[in-house]
């Protein structure tokens, strides 16, 4: 107990000290980093992202600091609380965006992976390296490196590397991540010929304990050791590997002096492979209801490889109208324990972005995939958004999916589960719209769903027609040196009872920002809390690697508070935080996923440092 109050006291005394050191001037909006900033422009390699965004500057200010948690990219989510753990979006629009494609595995955690969609092509003239490290609960370790440097006038190199290690809150819950991507970018003289080649490798290894055997045994107290709780599995683990070789090259058509009229023609080629395997050295432990192939060792394996060949043309430089058309052919190899198959896919994709409406950008993207001779998947996304410089702006988007559930849902053969399922295409229509005033925004969404795939404890099924509606509010307020960040969502479903989502969720952060030591140091500290409604959250099945619907255990309905301090000294950012500060003080069971209680009170710290040359 004394240590708890000591931690909180130290964290809260830091801003008090900085307040005393401050000169009293609070009219500076910039960080102290400004004098050391470098111009680090980049564009996204993804054709759609490249036409809806202008050149972007690499942001490493204190305001962009996220304390190295990839799940911060989601509005709200459910997980077992351990860094690098499995997760499921709890906000329905995030769930729609997270839907798996036809050739994805059951529950790919792509938020952790280095994917093609987030490849950045840098145009910086000086080398830089952004290195981040943090340590947390039970010696959790996080390391991330982002590096880019020009090699010659035309060539540049960028490297991304990330390692995550988490022992976990429970027995046999260790996770290890290793992600790497290297990109060589060629910028031709006069920008006529250009291209890049990138290689990425993603490896995830996660022990699977199946959750604790008796939820009633979970006691939230500082003297109860989570490692003493009995779990279902003691020798099971999941391994995921994904590798990708991606090559794009092409020509810019038109004179370099007339950027408005420049067109591009490009060719892209890719070879990719994914491998997922569930391993258990004790398949007859009594946990599994069935053993079909091997009584000595489980090795349920899925594998997918593909070769892709595409061409695309378009215009990404026009101020008023940017567009692209992309078409190509893919060959897929599918391996499912003891049945292999080959599938072919033809893809036609197009997108545009327009700035004709003053201070607004209108954009749309459509894609049709013809998979063999069996079916076509259709996807459309369109929207409008106001510029960030507008004080008052509207925004909206519409998204439509006509999608066949993944190939691995059709037929699956494993050591404990096997099925043959004849699915139909699911339909999802999501409409979102809202308004933004300065640093506040409110939006509503309406979604109609039909024949969505969902899992039960022992099988798979498709739901009937239903709808989901809701509203999201986000606001940031500043009162002198004090800041308040709020986020809240209300959502509900009708006739879609197979979709488990909390009725409400929210987060609140109160902080104070100061400049000390003659503004050489920017400091922000405060308290934050999040919560969501109590509901029957989906449970995790380690064998199938899916979340499945259950109605026996309710999770949520508690506050999860923490205190933090963040600081920036020129090109270095540091933080310290104490999570779940009420653990052991209040009689609360901290659950987000059935069978996986969240960690006890935990202290985390970390730093990020930007280097040049």
Q: What is the pLDDT of residue 150?
A: 93
Among 96, 115, 415, which residue's Cα sits nearest to residue 274?
Answer: 115
Instruction: Give the CATH architecture of domain 2-612.
Output: Beta Barrel (2.40)
Q: What is the pLDDT of residue 60?
A: 74
67 φψ region: left (φ > 0), alpha (ψ -120 to 50), beta (else): left
Q: Which two tokens mark 577? A: 């935080």
Q: What is the pLDDT of residue 182?
A: 97
Q: What is the pLDDT of residue 224?
A: 67
Q: What is the pLDDT of residue 22?
A: 45
Among 367, 533, 493, 553, which residue's Cα sits nearest to residue 95?
Answer: 493
Q: What is the pLDDT of residue 384?
A: 95
Please check whether residue 133 is in contact with residue 53, taking contact to mean a CB–CB distance below 8 angstroms. no
Alpha-carbon gap, residue 548 to 88, rounded angstroms: 11
Q: How many contiguous H segments (helices) and E segments (strands) does the chain have?
A: 4, 35
How do the domains of the chain map onto residue ranges? 2-612
Mark the ranges of the chain whose per-residue pLDDT is less than 50.
4-37, 223, 257-258, 260
CA distances from 122 to 146, 183, 243 (A): 12, 10, 22
Burial of 115 (0-12, 13-18, 19+ CB in 10 A): middle
Q: Taking the model in full, what pTM does it have?
A: 0.89
Residue 515 makes CB contacts below 8 A (sequence gap 6+) with 22, 28, 32, 521, 522, 523
pLDDT digits (tens, 9 = 90+) for 177-217: 999 999 999 987 766 889 999 999 999 999 999 999 887 77
Residue 358 makes CB contacts below 8 A (sequence gap 6+) with none
Please check whether residue 518 is in contact with residue 527, taking contact to mean a CB–CB distance below 8 angstroms. no
Provide the CA 378 distance to its chain's centre, in angstroms: 23
Q: What is the pLDDT of residue 98?
A: 82
Give one DSSP letter per residue of 120-183, joined into a string: EEE--SS-EEEEEEEE-GGG-EEEEEEEEEE-SSSEEEEEEEEEEEE--SSTT--EEEEEEEEE
pLDDT digits (tens, 9 = 90+) for 281-335: 999 888 888 888 888 888 888 999 999 999 999 998 888 899 999 999 999 999 8
Please check whether residue 511 is in contact with residue 525, taking contact to mean a CB–CB distance below 8 angstroms. yes
């Amino acid at each position: 107990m004394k240590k708890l109050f000591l931690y909180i006291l130290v964290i809260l005394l830091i801003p008090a000290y900085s307040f005393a050191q401050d000169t009293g001037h609070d009219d500076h909006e910039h960080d102290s980093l400004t004098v050391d900033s470098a111009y680090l422009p980049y564009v996204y390699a993804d054709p759609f992202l490249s036409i809806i965004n202008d050149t972007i500057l690499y942001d490493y200010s204190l305001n962009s600091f996220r304390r190295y948690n990839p799940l911060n990219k989601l509005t709200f989510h459910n997980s077992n609380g351990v860094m690098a753990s499995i997760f499921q979006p709890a906000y329905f629009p995030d769930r729609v965006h997270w839907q798996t494609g036809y050739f994805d595995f059951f529950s790919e955690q792509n938020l952790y992976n280095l994917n093609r969609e987030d490849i950045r092509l840098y145009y910086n003239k000086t080398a830089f390296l952004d290195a981040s490290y943090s340590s947390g609960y039970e010696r959790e370790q996080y390391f991330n490196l982002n590096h880019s440097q020009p090699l010659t006038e035309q060539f540049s190199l960028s490297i991304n590397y990330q390692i995550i290690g988490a022992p976990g809150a429970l027995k046999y819950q260790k996770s290890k991540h290793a992600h790497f991507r290297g990109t060589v970018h060629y910028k031709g003289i006069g920008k006529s010929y250009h291209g890049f080649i990138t290689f990425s490798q993603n490896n995830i290894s996660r022990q699977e304990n199946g959750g604790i055997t008796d939820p009633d045994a979970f006691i939230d107290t500082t003297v109860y050791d989570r490692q003493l709780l009995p779990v279902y599995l003691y020798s099971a683990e999941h391994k995921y590997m994904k590798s990708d070789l991606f090559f794009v090259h092409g020509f810019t058509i038109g004179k370099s002096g007339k950027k408005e009229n420049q067109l591009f023609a490009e060719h892209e080629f890719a070879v990719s492979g994914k491998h997922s395997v569930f391993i258990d050295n004790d398949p007859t432990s009594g946990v599994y209801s069935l053993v079909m192939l091997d009584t000595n060792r489980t090795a349920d394996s899925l594998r997918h490889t593909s070769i892709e060949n595409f061409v695309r043309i378009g215009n990404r430089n026009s101020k008023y109208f940017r567009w692209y058309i992309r078409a190509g052919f893919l060959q897929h190899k599918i391996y499912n324990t003891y049945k292999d198959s080959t599938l072919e896919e033809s893809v036609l994709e197009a997108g545009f972005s327009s700035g004709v409406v003053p201070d607004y950008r209108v954009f749309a993207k459509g894609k049709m995939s013809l998979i063999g001779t069996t079916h076509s998947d259709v996807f459309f996304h369109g929207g409008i958004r106001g510029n960030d410089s507008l004080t008052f702006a509207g925004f909206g988007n519409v998204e439509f999916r006509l999608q066949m559930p993944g190939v691995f849902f059709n037929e699956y053969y494993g050591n404990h589960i096997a099925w043959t399922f004849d699915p139909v295409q699911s339909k999802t229509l999501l409409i979102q719209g809202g308004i933004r005033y300065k640093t506040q925004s409110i939006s509503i969404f309406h979604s109609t769903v039909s024949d969505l795939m969902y899992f039960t404890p022992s099988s798979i099924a498709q739901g009937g027609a239903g709808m989901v509606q809701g509203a999201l509010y986000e606001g940031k307020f500043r009162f002198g040196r004090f800041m308040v960040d709020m986020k809240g969502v209300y959502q509900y479903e009708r006739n879609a009872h197979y979709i488990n989502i909390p009725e409400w969720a929210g987060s609140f952060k109160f902080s104070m920002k100061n400049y000390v030591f003659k503004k050489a140091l920017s400091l922000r500290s405060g308290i934050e809390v999040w919560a969501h409604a109590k509901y029957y959250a989906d449970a995790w099945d380690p064998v199938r690697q899916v979340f499945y619907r259950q109605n026996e255990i309710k999770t949520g309905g508690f506050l999860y508070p923490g205190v933090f301090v963040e600081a920036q000294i020129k090109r270095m950012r540091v933080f310290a935080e104490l999570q779940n500060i009420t653990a052991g003080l209040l009689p609360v069971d901290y659950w987000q996923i059935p069978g996986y209680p969240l960690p006890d009170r935990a202290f985390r710290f970390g730093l990020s440092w930007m280097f040049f040359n």
